Amino acid sequence: MVRAVRATQVEIESAVQALRNGELVAFPTETVYGLGANAQNPAAVVKIFEAKGRPPNHPVIVHLDSPRYLHRWVREVPEAATRLAESFWPGPLTMVMPRAASVHDVITGGQDTIAVRVPAHPMAQQLLTAFGGGIAAPSANRYGRLSPTRAEHVREELGEAARVILDGGECQIGLESTIVSFEDGGVRLLRPGSVTATQLREVVGELVSGADRLSPRVPGGTPTHYAPTTPMTIVPAGEIDAQADAASGGARRVAVLAQRLPLRAHKYVTWINAGRRPESYGRDLYANLRTLDKAGCQRILVQAVPDGERWQAIRDRLLRAATSVADSDDGTGSTAVLP
């Protein structure tokens, strides 16, 4: 278990003052680090989009310390949302609901819905409680790039954009929250995360998976996202050594993210064994990809992860991060020719 770190009173006061002054604050959640602004200050929220290079029609999540403040942000709370909040808040679940009249378009990307979450990380809770309001916060990284799971990732990528960076150590989950929306009395899973479809069904019964043309736009919903700067290819599990050999021909440097050690030495290959446990693989995924992205390689090869619900969120992030997917029947869900 990752140690839960709390901020000092001085750190919290500094962060709260920065938010009240219309500045940005980076803070940890159990999923990834967020880049936060006062959600009731549209000019401050615009700074998030400028710092990240985020498209203005891409909504952000409003973080609250408790569901008791939902009425300030949400026009109507579906009965299913109440049950989900009782089961999973505080925690890694984001719910998309009709927005209150006072919510600004910059928060919602111009939509009539708002995404809301109550995070469980103790430092996030400290900040939210002390601030006493909603904090709009997408992940604290450049738009479309790897999400940050450590404070140093935020510093490396955003520099001085955040007035305060609260260091809560490594994020315990390491993958962005599950996102659901509500329509016609039902619940739709829009982004997989550590709260699984099975867990959701245990609370609400029927569940529809995947967005349709009428679904609201949500964070991380674009086909390409969560990506390293180095081109990345997903390859079938049984071919990772052969693909590493082929890609490193001619002394080309190649990086590999696998679930085991290599079967033999590869002279020009940087290899990370991320293991076979989905919880630890997901927690370390972005940190591992950042390490490989800095290795000076021409390509990153990722061993395709197994089928199954416990790997669904990881598989989703890898597919969005990949430049291409090698022909495969092992659960990657897509095929393409390996360049």
Q: Read off the pLDDT band of 84 (50, 70, 90).
A: very high
318 DSSP assignment: H
Phi, psi of 10 (to 5 degrees): -65, -45
pLDDT higher than threshold 60 for residue 198: yes
Strands (E) in 201-336, as ranges, are 208-209, 232-235, 254-258, 269-273, 299-303, 324-325
Q: Summarize pLDDT for 221-242 with one digit per residue, the tens.
A: 888 899 999 999 999 999 999 9
Question: Does the domain made of 9-209 have the CATH classification 3.40.50.40?
Answer: no
Q: Across the chain, what does the average pLDDT equal?
A: 93
For the segment 165-193, the average pLDDT, to the nearest whole number, is 96
- In 3D space, the residue among 331, 143, 279 whose CA is nearest the CA of residue 302 turns out to be 331
Predicted local distance difference test score (pLDDT) of residue 1: 36
Residue 189 identity (one-letter amino acid): L
Residue 339 identity (one-letter amino acid): P
Q: Read off the pLDDT band of 329 (50, 70, 90).
A: very low
Count of CB atoms within 10 A of residue 7's CB? Answer: 22
Predicted local distance difference test score (pLDDT) of residue 220: 86
* Helix residue ranges per DSSP H, 109-167: 122-131, 151-158
Residue 184 makes CB contacts below 8 A (sequence gap 6+) with none
Residue 250 identity (one-letter amino acid): G
What is the percentage of the chain residues whose pLDDT exceeds 70? 95
Predicted local distance difference test score (pLDDT) of residue 221: 87
| CATH superfamily of domain region 232-325 | Threonylcarbamoyl-AMP synthase, C-terminal domain (3.40.50.11030)
pLDDT higher than threshold 90 for residue 3: no
Predicted local distance difference test score (pLDDT) of residue 223: 87
- In 3D space, the residue among 181, 130, 182, 134 whose CA is nearest the CA of residue 34 turns out to be 134
Phi, psi of 272 (to 5 degrees): -115, 125
Q: Read off the pLDDT band of 335 (50, 70, 90).
A: very low
Q: Summarize pLDDT for 307-326 with one digit per residue, the tens.
A: 999 999 999 999 999 988 88
**Terminal-residue alpha carbon distance, the chain:** 40
Q: pTM of the prediction? A: 0.93
Predicted local distance difference test score (pLDDT) of residue 229: 96
For the segment 127-131, the average pLDDT, to the nearest whole number, is 98
Strands 25-28 and 164-165, by their bridges, are parallel
The rounded distance, in Å, linking the Cα atoms of 180 and 187 is 7
Domain ranges of the chain: 9-209, 232-325
- Torsion-angle region of residue 220: left (phi > 0), alpha (psi -120 to 50) or beta? left
Q: Concatenate the DSSP letters of all residues of 9-56 into one string.
A: HHHHHHHHHHHHTT--EEEE-SSSEEEEEETT-HHHHHHHHHHHT--T
Q: Read off the pLDDT band of 214 (50, 70, 90).
A: confident
Q: Summarize pLDDT for 9-64 with one digit per residue, the tens.
A: 999 999 999 999 999 999 999 999 999 999 999 999 999 999 999 999 999 999 99
pLDDT higher than threshold 80 for residue 334: no
Q: Read off the pLDDT band of 4 (50, 70, 90).
A: low
Strands 135-136 and 33-38, by their bridges, are antiparallel
**b/e burial code for range 61-96 (CB count within 10 A of at least 16 → b):** bbbbbebebbeebbeebbebbeebbeebbbbbbbbb
Q: Summarize pLDDT for 134-160 with one digit per residue, the tens.
A: 999 999 999 999 999 999 999 999 999
